[in-house]
Amino acid sequence: MHDPSPARRPPAEPIFEELGIVRDPRSLFHQVVEQVLVAADLAALPHHQRIILAQPKNEVMVHFPVLMDDGHHRLFKGYRVQHNNALGPYKGGLRYHHRLALDDVKALAVLMTMKCALAGLPFGGAKGGVKCSPRELSEGELRRVTRRFCSAISHQIGPHYDVPGPDVGTDAQVMAWFADTYAQMTPEHSRQDSLGVVTGKPVGFGGSHGRDKATGQGLVEVLDAMLPELGLDASTISFSVLGYGNVGSWTARLLASRGARLVAVLDHTGAIREDRGIDADALEAHVRRRGGVEGFAEATAIDEASFYGTEVDLLVPAALEQMIDASKAAQIKAAVVAEGANAPTTPEGDAVLMQRGVEVLPAILCNAGGVTVSYFEWVQNRTATWWSAEEVDRRLRGHMHAAVERVKVARRRHDCDLRTAAFAAACARIGEVYSLRGVFP
């Protein structure tokens, strides 16, 4: 068992001080950078590389008006934060959420840098989005928001420079509108090349087979590679899922199709439990119709505390950031937590899970499948080729298992927890590139 003491925290302090960052414990960005700097220390990154990673390269913030259905214009706020592009073009999702804030976007951009490096992709990290409630917008409003947002940031992105993809609140349709808008703004003779400006597009419009399920599938591949050494088998485990959107529902459906038993689900509408097993496909259809798990007839409604207290082999947090704090972590009765969402566990929650011996499989490993198939889509767009669903599955498996191996090697080398090991493996790859390139001039 590794040492969970916080003795490795200090490496961040001198860097924060030097950069004039006043550490705010509620800032997700500060928390993530702190974790990265701890890992950068283990990976022996030189000082100049640490200060580069401690801040995003570019932070773009835009305001744009959109005509609403009732005839008035509303002003929206959009973001694109580009953290690092040492390994390749910036890459990361666009989130539409009513509480989207710059601090979160910066944190998520750092996580993309780390995730792409760990997954062995030729991409850096970015994140963006629009502060809005997509569920409350009509289809026409959503389309106009997307087109105006794309035009507002069109000079900051590009298929060879920064490639957005889907995230919470955006889907293949949003990516299609985005790609079409970008194409309209591209000179006719290079318009075909513009298709690769976003990934996660519909299969009929330059998308890749397997992108929709990719994050869930990548998570299942990680479980296949990690569970045996924890004495568990992905085809016989019981599990619960927090959030039943793209990541949660695909993970549940793919695990259930292998024989695993889904016993509890919690989302923004309520929680349900059925010890004999919940039909993951039927629940997905219900959520699509009703907007959440509430009212699903083939399971019993439970409260939030009972959800966390449900005894399972595996819990998959697949909702938003920071849902598992110290008090939730104390209630969890799972042997393993596999983070489907980005940063779902607070540092305090993490410490509690560690003390209680719960194995946490970190997000930058578990949810790397989405951006990996985004990379496949980008390669297909650039080479004008089409891969079969089987080809995508095969390549995804290879990438995920290689990433798991990198984490295991880093854990052995540094004798640390899996999260720190994943960040250390990512830092080592970025550090190697910076050492080879040097710093201009």
When the beta carbons of 104 and 274 are compared against ligand GLU, the nearer one is: 104
Question: Does 429 help bind ligand GLU (rule: CB under 6 A)?
Answer: no
**Measured from the CB of residue 430, what is the shortest distance to ligand GLU in angstroms?**
17
Options 36-44, 90-98, 128-136, 397-405: segment touching ligand GLU (CB under 6 A): 90-98
105, 128 contact by CB (below 8 A): yes
Question: Does 367 help bind ligand GLU (rule: CB under 6 A)?
Answer: yes
Question: Does 342 help bind ligand GLU (rule: CB under 6 A)?
Answer: yes
Question: Does 92 help bind ligand GLU (rule: CB under 6 A)?
Answer: yes
Size of the site for ligand GLU (CB under 6 A): 14
Options 237-245, 354-362, 363-371, 399-407: segment touching ligand GLU (CB under 6 A): 363-371
DSSP string, 182-229: HHHTS-GGGTGGGGGGSSS--GGGTPPTTTTTHHHHHHHHHHHHHSGG
Nearest by Cα to 246 from 184, 170, 339: 170
Query: Contacting ligand GLU (CB under 6 A), which of 167, 267, 321, 350?
Result: 167
117, 410 contact by CB (below 8 A): no
Question: Does 165 help bind ligand GLU (rule: CB under 6 A)?
Answer: yes
Question: Does 93 help bind ligand GLU (rule: CB under 6 A)?
Answer: yes
**Measured from the CB of residue 16, what is the shortest distance to ligand GLU in angstroms?**
25
231 Rama class: left (phi>0) / alpha (psi -120 to 50) / beta: left
Nearest by Cα to 389 from 252, 171, 209, 192: 209
Which parts of 242-301 interact with ligand GLU (CB under 6 A)? none
Question: Does 199 help bind ligand GLU (rule: CB under 6 A)?
Answer: yes
Question: Does 371 help bind ligand GLU (rule: CB under 6 A)?
Answer: yes
Instruction: Residue 300: count other Cβ atoms within 10 Å of its Cβ.
Output: 12
**Measured from the CB of residue 127, what is the shortest distance to ligand GLU in angstroms?**
8
Give me the catalytic one of 91, 106, 115, 127. 127
Question: Does 344 help bind ligand GLU (rule: CB under 6 A)?
Answer: no
**Measured from the CB of residue 117, what is the shortest distance to ligand GLU in angstroms?**
13
Q: Can you list the positions of beta strands (E) in 232-293?
A: 238-242, 261-267, 270-273
When the beta carbons of 167 and 417 are compared against ligand GLU, the nearer one is: 167
When the beta carbons of 198 and 302 are compared against ligand GLU, the nearer one is: 198
Question: Does 170 help bind ligand GLU (rule: CB under 6 A)?
Answer: no
Which parts of 101-140 interact with ligand GLU (CB under 6 A)? 115
Contact partners, residue 251, CB within 8 Å, separation at least 6 = 215, 216, 219, 220, 241, 316, 318, 340
Options 50-58, 77-85, 91-99, 151-159: segment touching ligand GLU (CB under 6 A): 91-99
Buried b (16+ CB within 10 A) or exposed e, 217-255: bbbbbbbbbbbeeeebebeebbbbbbbbbbbbbbbbbbb
Nearest by Cα to 153 from 66, 57, 81, 55: 81
Greatest C-alpha distance within the chain: 65
Q: Which two tokens stand for residue 333?
A: 């009765």
Options 1-9, 99-107, 171-179, 365-373: segment touching ligand GLU (CB under 6 A): 365-373
SS3 156: coil
> What is the 8-class DSSP label of residue 268?
T
Options 22-30, 31-39, 96-104, 165-173: segment touching ligand GLU (CB under 6 A): 165-173
Question: Does 380 help bind ligand GLU (rule: CB under 6 A)?
Answer: no
Distance CA 4, CA 183 (A): 50
When the beta carbons of 186 and 367 are compared against ligand GLU, the nearer one is: 367
**Measured from the CB of residue 82, what is the shortest distance to ligand GLU in angstroms?**
13
Question: Does 322 help bind ligand GLU (rule: CB under 6 A)?
Answer: no
Q: What single letter denotes the amino acid at residue 43?
A: A
**Measured from the CB of residue 122, what is the shortest distance to ligand GLU in angstroms?**
13
Query: Is residue 127 flagged as an active site residue?
Result: yes
> CA angle, 341 as apex, 178 and 101 as ends, to 5°?
60
> CA angle, 259 as apex, 257 and 264 as ends, to 5°?
90
Tell whether the torsion through CA atoms of 280, 281, 286 and 288 is positive or negative.
positive
When the beta carbons of 80 and 273 are compared against ligand GLU, the nearer one is: 80
Distance CA 256, CA 138 (A): 34
Question: Does 374 help bind ligand GLU (rule: CB under 6 A)?
Answer: yes
When the beta carbons of 308 and 387 are compared against ligand GLU, the nearer one is: 387
Q: What single letter denotes the amino acid at residue 26?
A: R
Give the binding site for ligand GLU (CB under 6 A): 91-93, 115, 165-167, 199-200, 342, 367, 370-371, 374
Active site residues: 127
